[in-house]
């Protein structure tokens, strides 16, 4: 719908309120209910948010090391822009209207806003003549808990929705069919079409694959997917967590990103080459080479929390090295060649705790880096078990090391701009400094509900 049609649609709604949200640096939706009258005025003028939305951490503690937002700024309002193309109705909230926005036109926040960053990288890709089609798949654990029960027992021993290890289980899905069907059907009605939903190996764990779309819409859907699953779980009397690794004895939760570049008319997948033995075009090879080259220096974009790095262990279905393979789930990047239309590269590095705007920005920007610099695939393709490979560069083992590598390289500045990179690095340095391993269940308290 165009703007006039949007206005007409809003005026026809019985509800006097509209839900609107932006996304902070950690990928958390920050929003509010707006009256129809105020919302309609804001279509042109923008909606004000205190600039602390980029000046506090995931637990609302204000940064003392950032320049964009902080006490030194006085915390003024910054104007967010409403994206009318994100109009949705929330099926589990009486079809209330919902919109997303960003700070693309804000003088003080546009350079650090994750959604605005993705729009800039998407435009760069389009200017090169490519259409990026992406999708996210997520794993998450579900618990017979509430925020109150967890707090009451100091986050000790959260109780999973179902017991035991039972991947692809029809029985477990049937056991809680109302919850599972509510997710699948409600998300479809919320314009987040899910292609597949099943149990994974682990107690109370599910995996869902979102249908691919242009990269901005794909990131919008990924951000909304996580929040929607949590909201639906609350209404079912349970709790969903997208922590990367809530229990060291169990598999972690991934947020894999599927990527391909098409011609601008979206008629041809440019990653496919019939004459190539691998079926990969030279464009795809350079794209993967760029991702491999940049990965060690942008890892916090994929693994942004202290907990993220607990997932990178051998034999856990998560990568541990800078590697790629053909349909190989032990590597960081997995090439999938099921058909000319579906050929793509899966980035298996991000966990479910990653901010989709940032993980997709980093995936696309590093791939374009390889194309622009005509990089060749010099890292050999992994055949067999990458966990047994002792010659491949390992991923950083904690947030401190990964952030230090990002800070000491010029790669991130080139990919994302100096202002964003400086702000993001400082937020990750802050995150590491908050870590208190002596405090019981520190990671669960910080990340369990919110990421």
Q: Retrieve residue 67's tokens.
A: 């320049």
Which whole-number Å values give the CA distances from 324 to 46, 244, 274, 296, 361, in the listed order?
44, 21, 21, 14, 20
State how far the Cα of 272 lies from the Cα of 341, in Å rounded to an integer.
8
Task: Please write the tens of the pLDDT for every residue from 381-406.
Answer: 999 999 999 999 999 999 999 999 99
Task: Residue 225: name the closest of 43, 354, 363 by CA.
Answer: 354
Task: Residue 224: name the closest of 88, 363, 25, 360 by CA.
Answer: 88
| Rg from Cα positions in the chain | 21
| Domains of the chain with bracketed CATH | 3-109 (3.10.20.70), 124-447 (3.30.590.10)
Give Cα 404 distance to the centre of its chain.
Answer: 22
State how far the Cα of 296 lies from the Cα of 395, in Å rounded to an integer.
7
> What parts of the chain have a pLDDT lower than 50?
none
Task: Please write the tens of the pLDDT for every residue from 293-344.
Answer: 999 999 999 999 999 999 999 999 999 999 999 999 999 999 999 899 999 9
State how far the Cα of 221 lies from the Cα of 200, in Å rounded to an integer.
21
Task: Residue 251: name the closest of 151, 327, 352 by CA.
Answer: 352
Q: Retrieve residue 112's tokens.
A: 């650090």
Which residues face 102 on adjacent strands? 81
The pLDDT score that the predictor gives to residue 338 is 86
Task: Residue 26: name the closest of 433, 424, 307, 420 by CA.
Answer: 424
Tell whether the torsion through CA atoms of 364, 365, 368 and 374 is positive or negative. negative
CB count within 10 Å of CB 378 equals 8
What is residue 97's three-state secondary structure? strand
The pLDDT score that the predictor gives to residue 169 is 94
Q: Does residue 354 contact residue 27 with C-beta atoms inside 8 Å?
A: yes
pTM for this model (two decimals):
0.97
Q: 142-156 b/e with 16+ CB inside 10 Å = b?
A: bbebeeeebeeeebe
* H helices present in 176-321, as ranges: 177-189, 215-235, 282-298
State how far the Cα of 70 lies from the Cα of 330, in Å rounded to an integer.
42
Q: What is the dihedral of CA 180, 183, 186, 190, to 10 degrees?
A: -160
The pLDDT score that the predictor gives to residue 308 is 98
Task: Please write the tens of the pLDDT for every residue from 360-374.
Answer: 999 999 999 999 999
Q: Does residue 338 contact residue 347 with C-beta atoms inside 8 Å?
A: no
Q: Retrieve residue 267's tokens.
A: 């008629």
Task: Please write the tens of the pLDDT for every residue from 29-70.
Answer: 999 999 999 999 999 999 999 999 999 999 999 999 999 999
State how far the Cα of 339 lies from the Cα of 305, in Å rounded to an integer.
36
């Amino acid at each position: 719908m165009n703007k006039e049609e949007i206005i007409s649609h809003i005026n026809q709604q019985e509800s006097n309120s509209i839900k609107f949200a932006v996304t902070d640096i950690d990928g958390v939706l920050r929003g509010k209910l707006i009256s129809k009258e105020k919302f309609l005025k804001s279509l042109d003028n923008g909606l004000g948010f205190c600039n602390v939305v980029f000046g506090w951490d995931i637990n609302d503690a204000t940064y003392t090391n950032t320049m964009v937002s902080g006490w030194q700024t006085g915390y003024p309002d910054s104007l967010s822009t409403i994206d009318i193309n994100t109009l949705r109705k929330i099926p589990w909230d009486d079809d209330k209207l919902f919109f997303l926005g960003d700070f693309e036109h804000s003088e003080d926040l546009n350079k650090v806003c994750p959604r605005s960053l993705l729009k800039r990288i998407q435009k760069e890709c389009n200017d090169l003549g490519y259409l990026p089609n992406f999708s996210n798949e997520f794993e998450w654990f579900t618990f017979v808990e509430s925020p109150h029960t967890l707090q009451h027992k100091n986050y000790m021993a959260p109780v999973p929705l179902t017991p035991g290890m039972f991947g692809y289980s029809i029985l477990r899905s049937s056991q809680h069919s109302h919850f599972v069907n509510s997710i699948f059907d409600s998300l479809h009605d919320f314009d987040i079409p899910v292609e597949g939903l099943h149990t994974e190996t682990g107690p109370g764990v599910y995996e869902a694959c979102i249908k691919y779309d242009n990269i901005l819409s794909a990131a919008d859907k990924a951000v909304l997917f996580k929040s929607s699953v949590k909201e639906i779980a609350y209404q079912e009397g349970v709790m969903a967590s997208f922590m990367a690794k809530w229990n060291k004895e169990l598999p972690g939760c991934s947020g894999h990103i599927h990527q391909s570049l098409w011609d601008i008319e979206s008629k041809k997948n440019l990653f496919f080459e019939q004459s190539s033995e691998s079926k990969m075009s030279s464009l795809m090879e350079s794209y993967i080479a760029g991702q491999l080259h940049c990965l060690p220096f942008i890892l916090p974009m994929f693994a942004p929390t202290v907990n993220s790095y607990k997932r990178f262990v051998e034999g856990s279905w998560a990568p541990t090295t800078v590697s790629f393979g053909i349909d190989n789930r032990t590597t960081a990047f997995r090439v999938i060649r099921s058909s000319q239309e579906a050929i793509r590269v899966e980035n298996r590095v991000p966990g479910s705790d990653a901010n989709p705007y940032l993980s997709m920005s980093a995936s696309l920007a590093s791939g374009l880096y390889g194309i622009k610099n005509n990089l060749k695939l010099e890292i050999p393709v992994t055949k067999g078990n990458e966990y047994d490979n002792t010659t491949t560069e390992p991923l950083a083992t904690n947030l401190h090391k990964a952030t230090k590598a990002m800070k000491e390289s010029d790669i991130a500045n080139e990919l994302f701009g100096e202002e964003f990179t400086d702000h993001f690095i400082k937020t990750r340095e802050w995150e590491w400094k908050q870590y208190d391993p002596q405090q019981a269940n520190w990671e669960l308290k910080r990340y369990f509900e919110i990421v």
